[in-house]
Amino acid sequence: MTRLAEAFARARSEHRAAFVPYLTAGDPSPDATVGLARALCRAGADVLELGVPFSDPIADGPVLQRSAARALSAGTTLRTVFSIARRIRQDTSLALVLFSYLNPLERLGIETAAREARAAGFDGALITDLPAEEAGPIQPPLRKAGLDTIFLVSPTSPASRMRAAARLSSGFLYVVSRPGTTGARVSLDAELPKTVARARKAAGRLPIAVGFGISSPAAAREAALLADGVVVGSAIVRAAEEAEERREEAVERLASSLARACRKR
């Protein structure tokens, strides 16, 4: 089993959804990112999505846009992200997902980026702006390098797109909880149960994780009762941003409450 598959299987055996937080690599520095990853591991995270900062993050709300801007201003590159991942791999048991837009990977070359990501300790890759219909030349080099590939589906995805995304995915299928960009929301979309049910029909035995807009233990609990994994990004990044030098303490406290909320009983 891959490290991602093991993470979801372990969570399932413990009657909980896997907890999948997100960090932007290099925000505000490589050392800070590694420290936050350690805090998330202590808090009970199973998988870490480590984001590659990008200058045109069209899927991201204001919190993650600011995070990417800080990381880029600090000089973070794709190879900086790989260096950060190596340190996280040494220091934690987290499964690691490379979370990126396509452009940074293409600039390095997909095959080179895939090999270097795997060598750095990444277990999977999620390319935010790569739809299943355009993945023909991109997905095979990632899988050849030993990376699980994770694709997104949303409430507006027809059944055919959900099937295509599930067919190309390994590790898990990512269900976007609502249309629009990333960012914390007060409540989850009322149509989410129907969206997850459609995704499960397409995914079969592949785990389902829900993300976008989950910011509180109550929302995490609601998502955990529907899915196999719960993804939290903006709320984690915002907690680190607001706490400044006490970021690790703030993130560990929030993440612990979210991890507890992922229990199904």
Q: Which residues are catalytic?
A: 49, 60
Query: With helix as H, strand as E and coil as C, how does 49-79 read?
Result: EEECCCCCCCCCCHHHHHHHHHHHHCCCCHH
| Residue with tokens 């299928």, as numbered in its chain | 173
Do 265 and 15 form a contact (C-beta atoms < 8 A)?
A: yes
Do 189 and 155 form a contact (C-beta atoms < 8 A)?
A: yes
Q: How far is residue 232's CA from residue 44's CA, in Å, rounded to a whole number?
A: 13
Reading the block at residue 231, the tokens are: 């993804």
Q: How far is residue 10's CA from residue 124's CA, in Å, rounded to a whole number?
A: 17
Select from 53, 45, 48, 47 the least CA-distant residue to 26: 53
Q: How far is residue 111's CA from residue 27's CA, in Å, rounded to a whole number?
A: 26
Do 161 and 182 form a contact (C-beta atoms < 8 A)?
A: no
Left, alpha or beta for 209 (phi > 0: left; psi -120 to 50: alpha)?
beta
